[in-house]
Amino acid sequence: MSFLRTSRTIFHPISPAFRSYFLLQYRQSLYQLPARLQIRAKSKQASLNASSEPSGSQPGPKTLPQSPIKADSSLQEPRETGPTTQEVQFASNKGEYEYTAKDARRRLDAVPRFKVNYLRPIIWALGFSSGIYVCFAYLDDGKNFKPSEPKYQHRPRPDPASQPTGLDIAQIQRVLTAHWNHLDPISKLSTGIIATNVLVQSTSFLPYELLDNLMHVPARNVNFTLLTSAFTHSGLLHLGVNMYFCSMFFPPVGYSPLFEGNTYHMLSFYLSAAVLSSYAQHLSTIFSSYAGVVPSVFIRSTGASGALFAVFGAYCMQYPTHPVGIMFLPFSFDAQTFLPCVMLFDLYGMVFGFKTIRFGHAAHLGGALFGVAYSYFDGKNNLWIPLTRFFRNIRKNQSP
């Protein structure tokens, strides 16, 4: 821990002004919200008790039952004391409170209100998706004008007796390079996406909590986190499940008739699905209320599951009769049967919610709808090929 404390003065990935305005304000509102609600409730109850007493009698001292509120000790507010309020006791363990959700729902006026933008994020998401498709279509068409290089070069196999027996960094590098060269293009793309997610997740060990600022929180009104949140995860289990999902479904979809092994097309689809599914989760906060203890505008959106559900939707459309199973279950279903069940599950979770399950149902549903629509309307022939043909005609007109 001493290394992390000293490194705070060396590494400055995020400006102090940004952190003090967004991160600290968000934490204070999140941690101190139950304390404010309970103080307001007890103050109102004490005033009601005082007003109900006879005017001729002298009210004696009233003692309220001690029910300490536990909150983050690093974000303590000044202790509030008075004739009608009880002193709030803070505990050392953070993030745990003793309160009832019923009290919080009754006093919505105590919840801090934030104006969340919904128009600017969709404009940014559509602009980003359009720009990604245009740029990668230009690069895809440009590779046809470059001289082709031999894909395979025969090299003599080295003698095993001449190989070093100890730990050799150069030898390890050669083995990894050989393994990378034997991968097909779509497998290289999926491996790169997995490596990027692992690299971003490793920033959770750095100071200044860089990972938290890459997650999308609707109350921040920051647009770029619609993209960066697709590469962040809440933990190692979340990361492992999503990356396993990516390695299982990404290559079959990449070599389906919809993409035909085109890495530029597949990457454009993945990044666009990530941004649009994140906006679907952002948009779902319109239908949520402030009645919850933690309003949905403060809940962080993380994970690549929205983009991966788009991949899964395209997979079920391209391979409708292929069996799809669930982890740790011995049976499977057809893809064309399994996909509607998953979408209905997310639709119910988005509208009504589950008490014990907290997923990004809107992001899952939005990603699946994007993948189904892209496959149904044939995004290859109606979007990708016209874009590449447009740049090909421009190059032909410019060539002498």
pLDDT band for position 362 (cuts 50, 70, 90): very high
Average pLDDT over residues 5-15: 40
Closest CA to 90 of 73, 65, 104, 106: 73
pLDDT band for position 267 (cuts 50, 70, 90): very high
Predicted local confidence at residue 125, as pLDDT: 97
Whether pLDDT at 176 is above 50:
yes
pLDDT band for position 310 (cuts 50, 70, 90): very high
d(CA 276, CA 2): 41
Closest CA to 207 of 399, 400, 16: 16
Q: How far is the CA of 108 from the CAs of 95, 219, 290, in angstroms? A: 21, 17, 7
Q: Which of 79-83, 316-320, 384-388 has the lowest average pLDDT?
A: 79-83
Question: Could you give the domains of the chain?
Answer: 29-40+65-112 (no CATH), 119-152+169-398 (1.20.1540.10)
Taken in order 96, 200, 189, 301, the sign of the CA dihedral is positive
Q: How far is the CA of 242 from the CAs of 295, 311, 318, 319, in angstroms? A: 26, 12, 21, 21
Residue 86 dihedral angles phi and psi, to the nearest 5°? -95, 145
d(CA 346, CA 317): 18
Could you tell me which residues are beta bridge partners of residue 301? Answer: 216
Predicted local confidence at residue 35, as pLDDT: 57
Predicted local confidence at residue 29, as pLDDT: 54
Average pLDDT over residues 365-381: 96
pLDDT band for position 41 (cuts 50, 70, 90): low
Predicted local confidence at residue 298, as pLDDT: 82
Give the mean pLDDT of the chain. Answer: 76
Q: Which of 94-98, 158-162, 256-260, 292-296 has the lowest average pLDDT?
A: 94-98
More confident: 184 or 39: 184
Whether pLDDT at 324 is above 70:
yes
Predicted local confidence at residue 90, as pLDDT: 43
**Contact (CB, 8 A) for 374 and 307:** no
d(CA 276, CA 369): 10
Predicted local confidence at residue 208, as pLDDT: 65
Radius of gyration of the chain (CA): 28
Cβ neighbours for 112, distance < 8 A, ≥ 6 positions apart? 29, 33
d(CA 370, CA 276): 8
Average pLDDT over residues 373-377: 97
Whether pLDDT at 226 is above 80:
yes
Whether pLDDT at 260 is above 80:
yes
pTM for the predicted model, two decimal places: 0.69
Strands (E), the chain: 323-325, 332-334
d(CA 46, CA 42): 6
Predicted local confidence at residue 296, as pLDDT: 79
DSSP 88-104: PPPPSSSS-----HHHH
Average pLDDT over residues 335-357: 89
Predicted local confidence at residue 299, as pLDDT: 85
pLDDT band for position 359 (cuts 50, 70, 90): confident
Predicted local confidence at residue 18, as pLDDT: 43
- The 10s digit of each residue's pLDDT in 145-156 is 655 444 444 444
d(CA 339, CA 317): 9
Whether pLDDT at 217 is above 60:
yes
Predicted local confidence at residue 171, as pLDDT: 81
pLDDT band for position 400 (cuts 50, 70, 90): low
Name the region of 176 (left: φ>0; alpha: ψ -120 to 50; beta: rest): alpha
Whether pLDDT at 272 is above 60:
yes
Task: Count how many Cα atoms sit within 13 Å of the Cα of residue 310 in the half-sphere of its side chain.
Answer: 27
